Structure 1
Amino acid sequence: MIRVGIVGASGLAGGELIRLVSQHPELELTFLGGDSSAGRRPAELHPGLRLDLGLTVEPVTADRVAEKCDVVFLATPAPVSARLAAELADRVPCVTDLSGAFRIRTPELHRRWYAKAERATELADRFVYGVPELVGDQLVDAALISVPGCYATAITLGLAPLTLGLGLHLRTVVVDGKSGSSGGGLQLRVPDLHPLRNGAIAPYAPTGHRHAAEVGDFLRRSKPGSVGSLAMSAYGVSHVRGLLASSYVYTDDPVDQRTLQRAYFRFYKEHPFVRVRRHDETLIPVPDPQAVLGSNYCDVTAMHDPDGGRIVVLAALDNLVKGAAGQAVQAVNKRFRLPEETGLTMQPVMPA
């Protein structure tokens, strides 16, 4: 069995990691780390997890984690992850970080969006950007993995068949993102209180989002294809889980609906967690976040809009599973040469 530690066990992503790891046939949960929750059991922190794992949350020390773990998940804020990764690198066989501390490779861009997450450039350069569908071979035996953000995962999986598959130059990409309240974690903020959040469509990042910077940084380093300007507006909506990223793509390269459909099916043919869908294939228009909740799927649709001179790419996922904990486990499966879907075959829950 592969021994697993989770640091940040009291948060939403930490709870999802506990849920997934505890039912994984090849992973054994051996360490739970945290500060404010030290001494507490998982069932006290996460009402849905009435599990007797024989573990309580412990203070985090590099010696203790190195002793107990073959892989450690850091479900911690970016500044904390930056510090812990520096302490644990080369002491734990695999460090997998769910924060933004190591997602953006370009130092100047990282400092703009994650100014408080100070890191060594040499350490950042060692991290593999963990989108298993796009960098699978790089994850095998990787010592350091940076799990993409939830929006970034949806946007990147939506655009990759255009750039990496068809080799298109995307002159302009405009992203409209809508996410539930769990995307903000468990921090208490006035705009997230129920009287203000319920029924809201809150434009919390109307002129830019760090996940768009992350997508641009990754795709501009990937070939073939290229991305010019990439802008994003993000909105909080009143449901709890799930997000929809709508990307409006403008390119001067010739393309039609048949080419798009074939390219997307071909690109994701061998990747079980990306479901290429027709917009009208089922009872409700898809992709829709409610059709992926609780699962590790990302549903993707690409449509040609000849009147608007654009390609419309829609991608939906559960931000706590494929957008966080599920993708982290998927990356670790690849790292340890396990079948990619091991422990992640749960189907969506709908209605939820």
Structure 2
Amino acid sequence: MIRAGVVGASGLAGGDLIRLITQHPEMELAFLGGSSNIGRRPAELHANLRLDLGLTVQPVTEEAVADVDVLFLATPAPVSAQLSELLADKVAAIVDLSGAYRIRTPELHDRWYPKVKRTTDLADRYVYGVPELVKDQLPDARLISIPGCYATALTVSLAPLTLGLGLHLKTVVVDGKSGSSGGGLQLRTADLHPFRSGAIAPYAPTGHRHAAEVADFLERGKQGSIDSLTMSAYGVSHVRGLLTSAYVFTDEPVTQRDLQRAYTRFYKEHRFVRVRRHNETLIPVPDPQAVLGSNFCDVTALHDEEGGRIVVLAALDNLVKGAAGQAVQAANIRFGLPEETGLTMQPVMPA
């Protein structure tokens, strides 16, 4: 049995980690860490978790995690950086859900995470944890950085074009829409119900750090290339789920048949990426409501012949495939388990 610890147990991603780990047949929740809710039980922090685990939130120390095999950090990036420095060689594996180590390039990291100080040595040890793309690196990884929710959707969207077909993408323009849970539990006026309900709020219209981490990762993966990757992000009124629309411009010839075959071939061995035709169901897909509560990412690639572009759509549950579920998926591979272990739940719809 793999002994798991969750730091940041009171947050939304922390709550989903607790939910998934307690249902996992090969994991045992052995430690809950935090700072502001010391002594509280999971059931007090999360209304959906009426569990008596015999655990309460405890301060994070080397001694407290001494018997933990995998430590999940569902903490803000500055906290994750501090804890990584303290615990990197004290547990068999750390899986960090924050942005502290997602961007490898130091200058790019400093631009998007100016308050997160880290050492280059530790940053170089972290594996960027998209299981579908780095599965061979995960079994030996002691440090795994889980991509951001938008970044997961975007990486899944673009990898078949750059890593698969080896295309040179001149321009990629991304439109991203996410529910309120993407912002966590920090209180902001714009997230209050009178303002968020029914809203389409352009909170990052001229750039987003998740686009930067995707460009950084794909650049290191090479084969194809991307000259420009930009993103606009919007908050919408639902709670869970996100949709990214990537508008891709390239001078290289490509057809709808090429795209369908490339995406199907690229993800044929990866059960959590569902390559879909947008008109295959009664409602158009990808649609976030068709993946809620699951670890699936639905992706569709379309050739817009009139517009001279490729349109790639991707939908996922930002708290599962975009956070806690992907973290458990990566940990499964790290410890030699089938990656779907504990993650076979189907989406809930309507939600």
Q: What TM-score results when the alignment is normalised by the length of structure 2?
A: 0.99
2:124 maps to 125
Is the partner of 2:346 in helix, strand or coil?
coil
Q: Distance in 2 between matches of 1:188 and 1:117?
A: 21
1:235 maps to 234
Q: Distance in 1 between matches of 2:183 and 2:127?
A: 24
- Superposed, 1:200-211 pairs within 5 Å as 200-211=199-210
| TM superposition shift of 1:337 | 1.0
Is the partner of 1:152 in helix, strand or coil?
helix
Q: Distance in 1 between matches of 2:71 and 2:248?
A: 38
Is the partner of 2:223 in helix, strand or coil?
coil
1:84 aligns with 2:83: yes
2:56 maps to 56
Greater shift in the superposed pair: 55-64 or 16-25 = 55-64
Q: Distance in 2 between matches of 1:238 and 1:135?
A: 34
Q: Distance in 2 between matches of 1:94 and 1:84?
A: 13
Letter in 1 for 2:30: T
Q: Distance in 2 between matches of 1:246 and 1:140?
A: 32
Is the partner of 1:199 in helix, strand or coil?
coil
Q: Distance in 2 between matches of 1:231 and 1:68?
A: 43
| TM superposition shift of 1:63 | 2.2
1:271 aligns with 2:282: no
Q: Distance in 1 between matches of 2:103 and 2:64?
A: 29
Q: Distance in 2 between matches of 1:91 and 1:101?
A: 19
Letter in 2 for 1:23: Q
2:299 maps to 300
- Superposed, 1:1-352 pairs within 5 Å as 1-65=1-65, 67-352=66-351
**Deviation string for 1:28-73 (max 9, x for gaps)?**
10000001111000000000001111101001112211x1300100
Q: Distance in 2 between matches of 1:30 and 1:279?
A: 43
CA contact (8 A) 1:5 1:68 kept: no
Q: What TM-score results when the alignment is normalised by the length of structure 1?
A: 0.99
| TM superposition shift of 1:229 | 0.2
Is the partner of 1:151 in helix, strand or coil?
helix
Identity over aligned pairs, percent: 79
Q: Distance in 1 between matches of 2:174 and 2:123?
A: 27
Letter in 2 for 1:237: V
Q: Distance in 2 between matches of 1:238 and 1:68?
A: 42
Q: Distance in 2 between matches of 1:233 and 1:128?
A: 27
CA contact (8 A) 1:203 1:234 kept: yes
Q: Distance in 1 between matches of 2:139 and 2:225?
A: 26
Q: Distance in 1 between matches of 2:118 and 2:229?
A: 26
CA contact (8 A) 1:287 1:300 kept: yes
The count of residues paired between Structure 1 and Structure 2 equals 351
Q: Distance in 2 between matches of 1:90 and 1:62?
A: 10
Which ranges of 4 or more aligned residues in structure 1 deviate by more than 6 Å? none
